[in-house]
Amino acid sequence: MQTYDCAVLGLGAMGRTHVAAYRESPWVRKIYGYEPDPERAAQLGRDLKLDDTTSDLDALLANPEIKLISIASINTAHAEQVERALEAGKAVICEKPMGETLADARRMVDAQERTGGFLQIGFELHYSELYRRTKQWIDAGLIGQVVNSHCRYYSSEFHKKNSWRSLSSGTLIGEKLSHYLDLQRWWTGSPVTDVYAMSAPNAVAYFNHPDNHQINMHFANDAIAQLNFVMHLGETDIGDPLQDYVAKQEDDGHALQYHIFGTEGAIETDVFRRRLRRWRFSDGAEQLVSEIVETVTYEQSEDAAWMHNTHGQNVHLAEVIGKGLPPELPVQDSFETMLCGFAAEQSGRERRLVAIDDIRP
């Protein structure tokens, strides 16, 4: 086993998740941290007990022992940091979105293609058991061809006033909803051709972008998908550590649920009920017969692995990198998801259908 050092760029909440994953990996020797502000870098380095922290990105990129650069910085920094890390010969894992503009996203793809380096975008739902199991059922042909999928996502406002997320010029489509558009692409297995999106007036007045979206996608195989998102309905979380917060939010306005309809059955994923279900369709004497044939549940202790497995993704990818294997999710595929997001933003602004090929650079 050839172990190596890694560096985490951005030591906020997501950066801490990255650090915890690499601390668990037997492939990683030392963990370095980066923050552009020297005082913040030093303080967070002490808090996280890192091997070293710095505000000098050039020094990190020049360190030959550092093989992996893991990017959890603010969205506007992603494209430049990815490009510089790839040009320095590092393997790169980068949180989504791929920047706040289509030019940023294309810059990242171009850098990977130019250098031939390892770059994987953090669409960790591909590693979350709730959605992996769904994909396995679809690939096994248990619901026939996917023809329609609906995502219903209602949350509370948890970005807070004057945060970089609430003030961002980018919308929640890239920052948050790209995960859920990506799943619909993954499950349907056909290129998206057209996107139509709408947003109603905000309830969250201090957001610098819409707090609600309805996004419709049309696929080359004539399947369709719809995502309905609102970020203010769920009851505000008071952060009681003694409560099972998912169970508490199950009926307070929160929802994160998919219904995936196929020609021979259907699948439901439900985060707040901790449940995965499958229907089978059959031809009865008088009508189509639908029956629930499989139900899977999981426990609170399994939430991270089933719902949002960033930790497991990064532990696994540290091994993939250590073994010299290619990315499991090519950046070109992640770029297709980002294209859908940018098309949705343009559609919402211009109030019209946007063809993916019309915006493809």
pLDDT band per the 50, 70, 90 thresholds, residue 90: very high
| Structural domain that includes position 162 | 125-307+339-355
Q: Mark whether 191 and 225 lie in a shared domain.
A: yes
Residue 265 tokens read as: 């059955």
Peptide bond into 97 cis (omega under 30): yes
Last residue of one domain, picked from the residues 57, 89, 121 = 121
- Position 300: which residue type? Q
Q: Virtual CA dihedral for 70, 17, 96, 217, nearest 10 degrees?
A: 150
- Gap between the Cα atoms of 206 and 270, Å rounded: 30
DSSP-derived secondary structure letter, 75: G
List pLDDT tens digits, range 236-257.
Answer: 987 788 789 898 899 999 999 9
Residue 28 pairs in a beta bridge with 4
Last residue of one domain, picked from the residues 121, 144, 171 = 121
- Gap between the Cα atoms of 249 and 90, Å rounded: 41
Domains in the chain: how many in total? Answer: 2
Q: Is residue 240 part of a domain?
A: yes
CATH number, domain with residue 10: 3.40.50.720
pLDDT band per the 50, 70, 90 thresholds, residue 204: very high
- Gap between the Cα atoms of 217 and 223, Å rounded: 8
SS3 34: strand
pTM of the model: 0.95
Last residue of one domain, picked from the residues 98, 121, 144 = 121
Q: Mark whether 158 and 248 lie in a shared domain.
A: yes
- Gap between the Cα atoms of 314 and 131, Å rounded: 17
